Amino acid sequence: MALRNIAIIAHVDHGKTTLVDELLKQSGAFRENQRVDERVMDSNDLEKERGITILAKATSVVWKDTRINIVDTPGHADFGGEVERILSMVDGAIVLVDAAEGPMPQTKFVVGKALKVGLKPIVAINKIDRPDARADEVVNEVFDLFAALDATDEQLDFHILYGSGRAGWMNTAPEGPQDQGLGPLLDLVVDHVPAPKVAEGPFKMIGTLLEANPYLGRIITGRVFSGSIKPNQPVKVLSQDGKTVETGRVSKILAFRGIERQPIEEAQAGDIIAIAGLSKGTVADTFCDPSVTEPLQAQPIDPPTVTMSFIVNDSPLAGTEGDKVTSRVIRDRLMKEAEGNVALKIEEAEGKDSFYVSGRGELQLAVLIETMRREGFEIAVSRPRVVMHKNEETGQLMEPVEEVVIDVDEEHSGIVVQKMAERKGEMVELRPSGGDRVRLVFFAPTRGLIGYQSELLTDTRGTAIMNRLFHNYQPYKGEIGGRNQGVLLSNQAGEAVAYAMFNLEDRGPMIIEPGDKVYAGMIVGIHTRDNDLEVNVLKGKQLTNIRSAGKDEAVKLTPPIRMTLDRALSWIQDDELMEVTPKSIRLRKLYLDSNERKRFEKTRAAG
């Protein structure tokens, strides 16, 4: 059977996973009566809840005697490491672009990577049924994007299809016909994506995706570069520098058939498969015949730009809600994560009870924290910090700068420009984006953007859409002002009382509820002024044996501000931590004792 390997790449929310759903349905991958979830490829809970793809996944369909292996990729720049590895497995790509939004920053990122490895993308203009669709303009924007990314003449001569992934049709004209379903797209893949290039020689495969299976152990997914492999065949694993990592036998070979993985007796060069049976081989290693001595070269991965400290939880409530609290257990979990996720970097701090975790952005780190808390971990994490570099020639301090695209209603554009200027953002473009909205493009330092998302939504009444993409390293831009409000700190341990919280309302909004457990040094609210204030949230009403003339009114509290994990991460300051447990998210000072805090402040002021 003929083979084709393709990736579906696009900006977040442009409809990749929904399109894969329809491709699977129309190619007969599901039985007539099979109940199928929406966005079937988004398999883990976090992907379903957030409505985004976090992990790249493979599937396959059969169309007119050709097996098409399809890889669904993430759309967020934070998970770009997944996309970079995937592109080495495929020979073609479908670039999905929203008919109204046009090419966005992440489209630029993934298309740039695809063009660099020599792929000739097929462009699919999706969501053509949107009332604000502007298909012709979007096609021109895509062409300009390809040209700006130094595409070859051959790559610029791309095929274009129009349609709607949700409605399940694609065709060469925006108006249809729609009765052929996604047939025209699949025909184009079969006719114009080249068959996999197969090298001569014994079995070789580069590890691209890693996962743990409770029954089969480690499963490595990759594309067979040369030769063939059968179950029980001896295999050697080589690292990128050519050292032997391990030798062993392949216990099972799994091929992608629809959304299922089925065991097969032999895999040939060019196919995308998953192998089990090896205990140490990981992503970017070469899995090969024992006679091979040279490893395959993996795609280089962009460096991380944001780092955070993961610290063993030492608060008075430590160990009361989670069962995985020791540094050894946390270290093992982080090392396991770094094995499968090459965009993450883990370093152990000197004290051994904290770890520096570096990644592409706050979202990638927030997803890791959320995953760990669901697994029963208790940790304290610091505010994200950017990874700085020193210019070796000039000795100048360099910091990561991002391209920020903000789509916003025209009436709110002024406040956005003002806030971005305060954060050292430099505006490079302003243009209308249809329907009384404007698109603002800035180059802004990453550290200025930490915590801006929630502020932006407040400033624009929830109407702005912000997209970010790493641009380059530039000289340090100077100090950027932080949070302009202090915090309310509990001065003792116990359970918060509604009466005490009611009397503190004029000091600022609370972030806890009555009955919540608190301890000294824990943040319970946001101060209306710029200094921190210690308060007593445990003080109950003085009771006497004299009946009062007026009946006591029930205390009516203003609802507290809900601190979600993403919001808390970007809100805390350098001298604060977020305590994360399976049941709670608490904010606290780094030093819980008020005398220690004063000493720390004096030292910082002097230094």
Residue 429 and residue 439 in contact, taking contact as beta carbons nearer than 8 Å: yes
Alpha-carbon distance 25 to 472, whole Å? 42
15 known member of a binding site:
yes
Within 390-537, where are the H helices?
Answer: 413-422, 446-449, 452-459, 498-503
Largest interatomic CA distance in the chain: 96
Task: Determine if residue 371 is labeled as part of a ligand binding site.
Answer: no
Asked if 243 and 290 count as a contact pair (C-beta separation under 8 A), the reply is no
**Residue 539 marked as a ligand binder:** no
Whether residue 14 is annotated as binding a ligand: the answer is yes
Answer for the pair 331, 355: CB distance below 8 angstroms, yes or no: yes
How far, CA to CA in Å, does 260 sit from each of 182, 274, 421? Answer: 21, 12, 50
- The DSSP string of 309-329 is EEEE--STTTTSS-SB-SHHH
Residue 126 among known ligand-binding residues: yes
Q: How many residues does the chain have?
A: 607
**Has 521 been labeled as part of a binding site?**
no
Which is nearest to 381 in space by CA: 576, 582, 604? 576
CB distance 276 to 317 below 8 Å: no
Dihedral angle computed from the Cα positions of residues 292, 298, 304 and 308, in that order, rounded to the nearest 10 degrees? -40
Q: Give residue 149's region: left, alpha or beta (phi > 0; psi -120 to 50).
A: alpha
In 86-216, the DSSP E strands lie at 92-98, 122-126, 160-164, 169-171, 204-213
Amino acid identity at 228? S
d(CA 123, CA 162): 9
User: Is 17 annotated as a binding-site member?
Assistant: yes
Residue whose entry in the numeric block shows the structure tokens 């977040």: 12
Question: Is omega for the bond preceding 560 within 30 degrees of 0, making it cis?
Answer: no
Binding residues: 13-18, 126-129
Binding residues for GTP: 13-18, 126-129
